[in-house]
Amino acid sequence: MKAIEEEPYTSYPNDDLREGCLAIFNEEKELGTELSAIIGRIANFVLEEEERLRVEREQRYKQARIEEQDAAEARLIAGADCKWTQLRGAPDFYCRTNGRTYRLSPTADKKWELFRVDRPSPDDKGEYIGRYGGRGNATKVVAQMAFQPEYRR
């Protein structure tokens, strides 16, 4: 009981590690190793394998996020309607709704300035629409403006 109380919480057994654990058990048993030493080696094996699996999952997740961001940038550049997308290396966010492109630029006082632009480019200054406290407020404005008749100067 004392060992159960002192040991940290562990999750259910990982079936993916079962074969490795059995191989270690059989190998050590043939060598005549005591059970406590076998358990220690298996515990170390499980810790190392779980860490390796965690690192692999993290790398897959990061790679998926990069691919997701690349796809979002490609949709924006191709002219498809998309939600707020940040081009790599740019502080601005771009959104295209109903074929109209908008840029949301951060300000020094943590507000956002919304512009109507022709294309997602830092060179295109665009037409100033307004200043908003958050991206959500700007999104509401874009949702209304995108479907109103366009009055461009």
Report d(CA 67, CA 28) in Å as an integer. Answer: 45
pLDDT single digits (tens) 81-112: 889 998 888 889 999 998 889 999 999 999 99
How does DSSP classify residue 130? E
Q: Return the amino acid letter for 52.
A: R
pLDDT single digits (tens) 106-130: 999 999 999 999 888 877 888 899 9
Check residue 66 and give its pLDDT. Answer: 93
Going from N- to C-terminal start, the domains of the chain cover 10-70, 80-145
pLDDT single digits (tens) 41-68: 999 999 999 999 999 999 999 999 999 9
Check whether 153 has a pLDDT greater than 70. no
Tokens representing 110 are: 């943590």
Report d(CA 59, CA 64) in Å as an integer. Answer: 9
Q: Kindly state the greatest CA–CA separation across the chain.
A: 87
Check residue 120 and give its pLDDT. Answer: 82
Burial class of residue 114 in the structure, from the number of CB atoms within 10 Å of its CB (0-12 exposed, 13-18 middle, 19+ buried): buried
Check residue 62 and give its pLDDT. Answer: 97
pLDDT single digits (tens) 9-36: 666 678 888 999 999 999 999 999 899 8
How does DSSP classify residue 37? H
Check residue 88 and give its pLDDT. Answer: 84
